[in-house]
């Protein structure tokens, strides 16, 4: 007999609907899974068999063939256990004919005792089966809250195979899961700008950077507060709005990093991968594509402390998401994209010993070595930086009065965001180049920028970046027009000419 | 001909039969291991380069640190003969736009007379006249602070305007700033290279070297074309920098800096030494500050203090007219009193960091301030002239 069940496969951060076809035929007892099933799926044979037996069902001693369709899509993960098990029951006549297998999708891993376990990326999977036409979906009880975030489909959490079977057979219908109410944003735990000593320029540049979601470089000797300042970035930005929260939660769900009791991510991500991170871990990829740090920092901040210590290929791999806002991974069977619209904060020392250009300590690096070190920030990467701030030790012990705490700055940033969204529905850093040459700048400011560009030998790309930053500075000042003074301030934060 | 153990008398050298002797000087100087000191010793022992050459490989007994291959090279050189060697070398130099000078030639800089072991052969590109202009050396660290760069520029500018040639070593940092300022003031400048003329070191200053050679200045070196550069060459050229100059100004130098070798060379031959003081917490100025503390160098109190010390009048200074906005004038006025970062300017002017950042970009664009890529801003020469024009 033949049966079909519906589920979904995880590809990056997106789900792809998958049909599970089960055929139970006479022959030597066996369970074969075909359809580019990876090793995790192959192991489903043992889990399904045991779960059926221990869950109070019969594991048919027949020749069972399972096909996962589309058969040319490589599949991995453990979420196929439940649809396979129920498919086997249906195909072997253990389910009453009323089974709603056509409209109820199934996602979950089975334990040997028949309990249902959570899987990664449930949000994306549920959205995929919904888009494929399913009216309801059964997931593991632990995945219920996460799955319920997805609207437009009824979600049921089942603790065991038996519960899931009872639901599908309409013997005992499971209650609908309630979508989690939007959680309160917890008080931000990061450091406050008031904790940062001095560094008025870097502080201002950080404000401009977060206000327009621009990329920022902090370059200076050890101990001047680069890391502390960067850690303040999240506290200066408003929490994720509802749409952003969905996008970000989905990525965290796919990465298996979601908090299952509070699955909706509301805090703006701040990712600070260690400098030994591999290229795959940074931008995502691998045989089983998982979102990398760049995607985990989507809508938030990617902080690379000691940026020049990172592997060169890892740094270069960031260029594409910095430009496009998505990570594209080429695979044998086509390209796969994952969102990665992060704002980069890169902090590093100017040379290996750290003291180049410092007054307090003499730099001990060989000239050629220092130059090679600085060159790790390659030209193309440097071209994608909006603000570049050289930092040095605070001038004196006397601190400046009236240093603003984070929430004062955040209120200004929130107003600037409001202006940007109203005007162009995106952050200033994401304004496409074709819009820049139009009416973005006042005519006099545009002339000034062109003049400065010739004077400082700036590339057209650099001028575009300066325009976006000037737009943000004007937004912070509450000015609809971008004036010369905004352009000049933006240009002050330009990267130095490469040595 | 009588020579001391450490050197030889230039006047003595010229009195010899110069035309006949010259090719032997050149050929002898090409033998590995025969540096200025050995050369002088050979002259003293044999009386002339010609007779030393005649002694063949026996003369290497008087060269204490002759490398293993020296005998072989000498044999090969002797097979060609001094005339052929000289003609070949001169042809090679002409292609590089250069020439060679021995103490037998009238063009050899007289100021080198008092140097211990003057080089028997100098290779020169550019204007040989530059070697006969009164000169002052401006030297310092390869990794200066903005303060050092700014001082080097101003001092070299004053020197060049007063008609003095600015001597330095073409190195990155202070040396480069000094050469550039002299060129910008339409002055002569002499770069004493640690490398041969056919491989300018550092490569990043190739353009600068070319500009020096075509604008009345000179590139000078002791090394024949094609010679690989070794570490001691850097130290050796420092004595030439000091020797060519009436005075040496050390702008910024940490302890154990090459610039301090130039300073001690100047002291050794009794030339004037000046040092620019730096902040006492600045490692980059610890060497110069020590020179002053030890009474080895005169304290430079202003960019023209060197001129005053040498009794030379200041050159003409053009006055620049400029109109500035209020915040720009405030920022520039504050910087003219003392260079500083935006942060320091905020505390000194009360203007916000953002507004100052904008004002400084404008001042940078107009060439009135520069940060040399760091956080501290310095007024430029042009800015100082506005200050004086008022």
pLDDT in tens, A295-316: 999 999 999 999 999 999 999 9
Contact A354, A183 (CB under 8 A): no
C-alpha torsion A434→A438→A444→A446, nearest 10 = 10
**pTM for the complete prediction?**
0.83
Interface residue ranges in chain B relative to chain A, Cβ cutoff 8 Å: 142-143, 145, 172, 254, 279, 281-284, 340-344, 346-347, 352-355, 357-362, 364-365, 371, 373-376
pLDDT of residue A269: 92
In a mutagenesis test of the A interface, which of B143, B174, B342, B361 is the best target, namely the one with the most A β-carbons within 10 Å?
Answer: B361
CB contact under 8 A, B343 and A485: no
Q: What are phi and psi of A423, to 5 degrees?
A: -80, -50
What H or E segment, with its residue span, contains residue A90? helix A81-91
Q: Where are the beta strands (DSSP E) in B110-246?
A: 122-126, 135-139, 165-168, 189-192, 218-221
pLDDT of residue A402: 62
From chain B, the residues in CB contact with A390 under 8 A are: 371, 373-375
pLDDT of residue A415: 95
User: Which bin fits A22, alpha (ψ -120 to 50), beta or left (φ > 0)?
Assistant: beta
Pairing of strands A116-117, A109-110: antiparallel
Distance CA A227, CA A373 (A): 20
From chain A, the residues in CB contact with B279 under 8 A are: 359
CB contact under 8 A, B143 and A367: yes
pLDDT of residue B4: 43
Distance CA B126, CA B123 (A): 10
Pairing of strands A216-219, A343-348: parallel
Q: Kindly give the parts of chain B with pLDDT less than 70.
A: 1-16, 231-232, 321, 387-390
CB contact under 8 A, B365 and A452: yes
Q: C-alpha angle B173/B178/B182, rounded to 5°?
A: 150
Residue A75, strand partner residues: A37
Q: Which of B174, B202, B200, B178 is nearest to B188 (CA)?
A: B178
Q: How many residues does chain A have?
A: 499
CA A282 to chain centre: 11
Distance CA B44, CA B250 (A): 35
What H or E segment, with its residue span, contains residue A69? strand A63-69
Q: Kindly give the parts of chain A with pLDDT less than 70.
A: 97-98, 182-189, 395-402, 438, 498-499
pLDDT of residue A98: 63
Classified as helix, coil or strand, A427 is coil
From chain A, the residues in CB contact with B145 under 8 A are: 357, 359
Which residue on chain A is closest to B279 by alpha carbon?
Answer: A359
Pairing of strands B298-299, B272-275: parallel
Contact A81, A44 (CB under 8 A): yes
The yes/no answer to whether this complex scores an ipTM above 0.90 is no
CB contact under 8 A, A489 and B358: yes
Of all residues in chain A, what percent are helix, strand and coil, respectively (each to 5)? 40, 20, 45
Say whether residue A435 is in contact with chain B using an 8 A CB cutoff.
no
Residues 6+ apart with CB under 8 A from B79: none
Q: How far apart are the first and last CA of chain A?
A: 73
Distance CA B199, CA B230 (A): 13
From chain A, the residues in CB contact with B344 under 8 A are: 395
pLDDT of residue A396: 57
Classified as helix, coil or strand, A331 is strand
Distance CA A310, CA A317 (A): 11
Question: What's the burial of B388, exposed, middle or buried (CB within 10 Å: 0-12/13-18/19+)?
Answer: exposed
pLDDT in tens, A227-246: 999 999 989 998 888 889 99
- How many Cβ atoms sit within 10 Å of the Cβ of residue B56? 12
């Amino acid at each position: 007999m033949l049966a079909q069940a519906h589920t979904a496969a995880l590809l990056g951060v997106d789900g792809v609907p998958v049909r599970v076809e089960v055929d139970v035929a006479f022959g030597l007892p066996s369970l074969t899974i075909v359809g580019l099933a990876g090793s995790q799926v192959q192991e489903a044979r043992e889990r399904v068999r045991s779960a059926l037996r221990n869950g109070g069902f019969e594991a048919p001693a027949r020749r069972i063939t399972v096909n996962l369709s589309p058969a040319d899509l490589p599949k991995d993960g453990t979420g196929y256990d439940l649809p396979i098990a129920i498919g086997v029951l249906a195909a072997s006549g253990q389910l009453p004919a009323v089974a709603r297998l056509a409209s109820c999708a199934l996602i979950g891993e089975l334990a040997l005792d028949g309990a249902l376990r959570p899987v990664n990326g449930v949000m994306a999977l549920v959205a995929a089966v919904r888009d494929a036409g399913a009216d309801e979906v059964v997931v593991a009880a632990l995945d219920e809250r996460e799955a319920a975030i997805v609207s437009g489909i009824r979600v049921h959490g089942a603790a065991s195979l038996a519960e899931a079977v009872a639901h599908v057979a309409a013997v005992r219908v499971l209650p609908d899961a309630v979508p989690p109410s939007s959680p309160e944003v917890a008080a931000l735990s990061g450091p406050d700008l008031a904790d940062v000593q001095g560094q008025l320029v870097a502080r201002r540049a950080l404000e401009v950077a977060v206000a327009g979601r621009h990329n920022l470089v902090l370059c200076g000797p050890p101990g001047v507060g680069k890391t502390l300042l960067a850690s303040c970035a999240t506290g200066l930005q408003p929490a994720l709005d509802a749409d952003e929260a969905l996008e970000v939660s989905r990525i965290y769900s796919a990465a298996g990093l979601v908090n299952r009791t509070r699955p909706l991510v509301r805090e703006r991500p701040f990712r600070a991968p260690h400098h030994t991170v591999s290229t795959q871990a940074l931008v995502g990829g691998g045989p089983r594509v998982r979102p990398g740090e760049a995607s985990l920092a989507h809508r938030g901040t990617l902080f690379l402390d000691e940026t020049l210590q990172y592997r060169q290929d890892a740094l270069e791999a960031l260029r594409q998401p910095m430009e496009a806002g998505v990570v594209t991974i080429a695979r044998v069977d086509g390209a796969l994209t994952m969102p990665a619209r992060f704002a980069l904060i890169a902090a590093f020392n100017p040379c290996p010993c750290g003291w180049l250009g410092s007054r307090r300590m003499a730099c001990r690096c060989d000239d050629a070595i220092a130059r090679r070190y600085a060159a790790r920030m390659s030209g193309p990467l440097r071209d994608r930086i909006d603000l570049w701030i050289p930092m040095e030790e605070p001038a004196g012990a006397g601190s400046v009065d009236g240093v603003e705490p984070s929430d004062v700055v955040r209120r200004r940033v929130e107003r600037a965001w409001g202006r940007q969204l109203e005007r162009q529905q995106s952050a200033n850093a994401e304004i496409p180049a074709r819009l820049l040459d139009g009416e973005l700048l006042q005519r006099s400011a545009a002339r000034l920028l062109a003049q400065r560009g010739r004077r400082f030998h700036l590339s057209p790309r650099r001028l575009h970046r300066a325009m976006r930053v000037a737009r943000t500075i004007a937004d912070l000042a509450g000015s609809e027009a971008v004036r010369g003074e905004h352009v000049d301030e933006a240009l002050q934060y330009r990267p130095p000419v490469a040595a | 001909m009588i020579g001391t153990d450490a050197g030889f008398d230039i006047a003595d050298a010229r009195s010899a039969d110069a035309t006949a002797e010259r090719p032997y000087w050149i050929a002898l100087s090409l033998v590995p291991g025969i540096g200025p000191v050995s050369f002088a010793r050979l002259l003293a022992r044999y009386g002339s380069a010609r007779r030393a050459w005649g002694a063949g490989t026996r003369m290497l007994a008087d060269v204490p640190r002759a490398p293993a291959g020296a005998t072989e090279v000498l044999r090969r050189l002797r097979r060609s003969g001094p005339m052929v060697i000289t003609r070949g070398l001169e042809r090679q130099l002409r292609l590089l736009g250069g020439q060679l000078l021995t103490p037998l030639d009238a063009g050899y800089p007289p100021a080198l007379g008092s140097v211990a072991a003057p080089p028997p052969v100098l290779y020169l590109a550019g204007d040989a006249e530059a070697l006969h202009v009164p000169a002052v050396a401006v030297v310092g660290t390869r990794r200066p602070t903005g303060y050092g760069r700014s001082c080097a520029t101003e001092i070299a500018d004053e020197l060049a305007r007063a008609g003095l040639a600015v001597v330095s070593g073409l190195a990155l940092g202070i040396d480069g700033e000094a050469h550039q300022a002299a060129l910008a003031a339409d002055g002569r400048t002499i770069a004493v290279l640690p490398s041969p003329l056919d491989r300018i070191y550092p490569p990043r200053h190739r353009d600068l070297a070319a500009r020096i050679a075509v604008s009345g200045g000179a590139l000078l070196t002791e090394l024949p074309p094609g010679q690989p550069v070794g570490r001691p060459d850097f130290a050796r050229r420092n004595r030439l920098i000091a020797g060519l100059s009436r005075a040496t100004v050390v702008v910024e130098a940490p302890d154990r800096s090459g610039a301090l070798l130039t300073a001690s060379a100047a002291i050794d031959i009794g030339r004037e030494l000046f040092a620019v003081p730096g902040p006492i917490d600045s490692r980059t100025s610890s060497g110069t500050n020590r020179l002053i503390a030890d009474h080895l160098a005169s304290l430079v109190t202003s960019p023209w203090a060197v001129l005053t010390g040498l009794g030379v009048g200041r050159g003409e200074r053009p006055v620049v007219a400029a109109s500035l906005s209020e915040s720009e004038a405030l920022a520039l006025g504050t910087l003219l009193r003392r260079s500083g970062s935006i942060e320091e300017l905020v505390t000194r002017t009360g203007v916000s960091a953002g507004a100052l950042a904008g004002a400084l970009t404008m001042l940078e664009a107009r060439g009135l301030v520069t940060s040399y890529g760091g956080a501290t801003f310095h007024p430029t020469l042009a800015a100082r002239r506005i200050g004086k024009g008022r």
